[in-house]
Amino acid sequence: MLRSSAVGCWWRPFTEVAEAAVFVIDLAPDAAHEAQALEWLSAEERARSRRYVGAGPRRRFTLCRAALRAVLCDRLGCDSQQLTFGTSSHGKPFAQIDAKPEPISFNVSHGRSHGLIAVAARGRLGVDIEERRARDDLEDLTDAVLGPNEKREFALLRGNARTHFFFRMWTLKEALLKALGLGFSQDPAEFEVPPAVRQGARTSTFSFPSRPRPLWGVYDLGTDEFAAALALETIAHPRLSSDG
């Protein structure tokens, strides 16, 4: 029976945000970690892992899925064999113990080198992480991602500041859309990140223009290594504490 304490940590606690705990995953190539992670996966998940053509995507899926299982088993007090996943009508997974759905909320995101897991006892949440990198299509992407005010602010920036602003907005919007859990029914260019966050604040509250309730807490979790964000349902007093 596999418990989280039995696994060498390629993940670790990253930050606590209101009621959510966030973990960062190291996705660097490591044969020992990958072999250990495979032991955590179900037969279906191992088959899914083998279907990835490239070594990178296969490694990222395996390490993220195993870390998620370990985190959830630790929170739910179960063994990995007891834990399965169901899927909502919009494709969002939920946890089950012995085929019984559990109320715990979780979300996973990964870039090339790092992943994030966010977990909370209640309330919808979403997390997103992106490796910042220069892109030739950045101007084109702004039309698909940014709203009018965000585009004007982006146009005033130069050099690395443009890249940082774009990926910051992207991760914040992706986290909100993942928390909402309605798939691609909401266009990210049709809503804007709160002005305070666009101007540098790390936390704020948000509501979708077409859905004034519930209220969401939005959190910029970015570091020097990556852009990242968390959205959490109905947070009255946003607060952020990090291990650095």
User: What pLDDT, in 10s, does the model give residues 195-229?
Assistant: 999 999 999 999 999 887 889 999 999 999 999 99
The answer to whether position 208 is within a domain reads yes
Contacts of 74 (CB under 8 A, 6+ apart): 3, 4, 5
Q: Are residues 144 and 42 in the same domain?
A: no
**Structural domain boundaries enclosing 168:** 131-239
User: What is d(CA 86, CA 19) in angstroms, rounded to the nearest whole number?
Assistant: 23
Q: Render the burial of 196-207: b for 16+ CB within 10 Å, e for the rest.
A: ebbeeebbbbbe
pTM comes to 0.90
pLDDT, tens digit (0-9, with 9 covering 90-100), for 58-87: 999 999 999 999 999 999 999 999 999 998
Structural domains of the chain, count: 2
The answer to whether position 33 is within a domain reads yes
The domain spanning residue 154 has which CATH number?
Answer: 3.90.470
Q: Name 148's bridge partners.
A: none
The answer to whether position 165 is within a domain reads yes
pLDDT band at 1 (very low <50, low <70, confident <90, very high): very low
The answer to whether position 189 is within a domain reads yes
Q: Are residues 44 and 153 in the same domain?
A: no
Instruction: Give how far the C-alpha of residue 48 lies from the chain's centroid of Cα atoms, to the nearest Å.
Output: 21
Q: Look over the chain and give the mean of its residue pLDDT values, rounded to a whole number.
A: 90
Residue 119 has pLDDT above 60, yes or no: yes
The answer to whether position 244 is within a domain reads no
Q: Are residues 139 and 110 in the same domain?
A: no
Residue 18 has pLDDT above 80, yes or no: yes
Q: Are residues 22 and 109 in the same domain?
A: yes
The rounded percent of the chain whose pLDDT value lies above 90 is: 78
Please give the average per-residue pLDDT across 120-145, as a whole number: 90
Q: Are residues 8 and 116 in the same domain?
A: yes
